[in-house]
Amino acid sequence: MKVVIIGGVAGGATAAARLRRLDETAEIVVFERSGYVSYANCGLPYYIGGVIEDQADLTLQTPESFFARFQVDMRVRHEVTALHPDGKTVCVRNLETGEEFEEAYDKLLLSPGAKPAQPRLPGVGLEKLFTLRTVEDTLRIKDYIDAHRPRSAVLAGGGFISLELAENLRELGMEVTIVQRPKQLMTPFDPDMAAFMHGEVRRHGVRLALGRTVEGFAERDGGVDVLLKDTDSLHADMVVLAIGVAPDTALAKAAGLELGLKDSIAVNDRMETSVPDIYAVGDAVQVKHFVTGQDAVISLAGPANKQGRIAADNICGGDSRYQGSQGSSVIKVFGMTAAATGVNETAAKQAGLDADAVVLSPMSHAGYYPGGKLMTMKAVFEKGTFRLLGAQIVGYEGVDKRIDVLATAIRAGMTAVQLKDLDLAYAPPYSSAKDPVNMAGFMAENLAKGLVKQFRTEDVKDLPRDGSVTLLDVRTPREYAGGHIEGFRNIPVDELRERLGEIEPGKPAYVICQSGLRSYIACRILAGHGYEAYNFAGGFRFYDAVTGDRRLVEAATACGMDR
């Protein structure tokens, strides 16, 4: 059996190695357009910033090492220019010699990945305009920085690559501005959770131009003007386009393979395309979202590697199935860690799901053990069933391990309430006896049992201030004096029982504290005395961060830039 693989990075390299482990006699040929195979895409920004010092560390395997271990013919700088499914051949061009030839196959695996989105805008192609997707892109950026010592950069786009690159360019001492069409960074997160990332990048001197559309680029004064719609242009010494990626499927389209969302390659759960003996994996394929069941294109390394393994199994006569992607991800944002899995609340509602969420602010480990830091956690679930749909966490230590627990819970089909039953490891330096994941479950259980009702940030502005409801802040007077929501009166929770006479019976009470715990206790006290009480999800800390960020974003939208 002869297997030809197009693309030798995540999915293609994984498939090649798996094929060899399953079939010692198969002939395996990999064509990779770039000069590198099996390299660490996710490490590219950190090489630019000098965190990864040795270029060789970006490359997990070389063609020579891959052949030595797996006897796989890895041909770099070879571009496949056409597929001929009827004749089971591919046309190939050697990019170094210009030679063109045909290669026959018994099985063909497409792993072309994705390409940086290149909008048709004036000025695209300028010398000081960069993209970051391959090792070659990385070397071009790093060589430019080393040679010209630019002092400023504009990053167009607010996703993973842009945030990682912003951090690394700031570490090099550059002024950095991020331009993003949506009014938030990192759209896998809800806007309220993204607010904490906005605060972190601002604290490190990154300027944000959110809600702004790039209309083109122009050379001026030795740099580049980034032309923005309805506001002044931005000027920088260099610009990096990081506005997303698109499936690289021109070959598949030309060969008549069935396509899906965004011209991605349609595959079944065996990673088979619409054409017999042709498989496809990675960023170029359409998959099912594990949570919603809807078609999706999810460009992440983890799914690509799993799909490569599954395709290899099936090429060798097995019956492996891909169960769908849920988009689990984590990112370092300067000193902060942000992670997400499943769908966020915004996406859940767009998918037609009746979603709600609990928000909490637990410590990374036991509060009495030194060094604990707050994290903000949001667990999204379906109303009624309490099926766990997704989760987001922003914080410092312990974020990654909690998101992995929650990702596993989603994969296992658990409800938000069942999180309370998870038996998680505890020692004071690492966690609390009631782990944050358990706490999310306790909160969901309270909602499910009707022990508490909640109100959210978006509800606050519509609460009447005419005395028809009771608005109550149960923090200490000192906390209250440091900032509070207009119209909320202060009765500390520890004084509440003695001061119930100050709260008019028969009126609903809306209660807030710093994190949501004391206000929950206050709600239970009020309920025990016949009041209808609602607890604020997330507490004043959450409300203040989210509304403060919204004010900054709206003000920046009005003038074009964070000030």
Taking the CA atoms of residue 254, residue 257, residue 259 and residue 262 in that order, the dihedral angle to the nearest 10 degrees is -30
The residue among 330, 336, 497 whose CA lies nearest residue 407 is: 330
Distance CA(122)–CA(297), nearest Å, equals: 28
Active site residue 523: no
Q: Is 60 exceeded by the pLDDT of residue 563?
A: no
pLDDT, position 554: 86
What is residue 39's DSSP assignment?
A: B
| CB atoms inside a 10 Å sphere around CB 349 | 14
Of 42, 91, 513, 523, the active-site residue reads: 42
Distance CA(125)–CA(188), nearest Å, equals: 29
Residue 423 φ then ψ, to 5°: -95, 95
Confidence of residue 559 (pLDDT cuts 50, 70, 90): low
The residue among 51, 45, 246 whose CA lies nearest residue 163 is: 45
What's the predicted TM-score (pTM) here?
A: 0.93
Tell me how far CA of residue 553 lies from CA of 12, 90, 241, 501, in angstroms: 41, 50, 22, 42
Confidence of residue 560 (pLDDT cuts 50, 70, 90): low
pLDDT, position 122: 84
Confidence of residue 562 (pLDDT cuts 50, 70, 90): low
Q: Say what percent of the chain tops pLDDT 70.
A: 99
Each residue's pLDDT tens digit, 170-183? 999 999 999 999 99
pLDDT, position 62: 84
Distance CA(485)–CA(280), nearest Å, equals: 53
* Burial profile 91-116: b = 16 or more Cβ within 10 angstroms, e = fewer: ebbeeeeeeeeebebebbbbbbbbbb
The residue among 172, 310, 181, 175 whose CA lies nearest residue 241 is: 181
Distance CA(361)–CA(385), nearest Å, equals: 24
Each residue's pLDDT tens digit, 322-374? 999 999 999 999 999 999 999 999 999 999 999 999 999 999 998 889 999 99
Decide: 20 and 52 in contact? Cβ < 8 Å. no
Confidence of residue 55 (pLDDT cuts 50, 70, 90): confident
Across all residues in the chain, what is the average pLDDT? Answer: 94
Tell me how far CA of residue 162 lies from CA of 153, 195, 287, in angstroms: 11, 16, 25
Tell me how far CA of residue 169 lies from CA of 154, 225, 383, in angstroms: 10, 19, 43
User: Which pair of tokens denotes residue 337?
Assistant: 């860690």
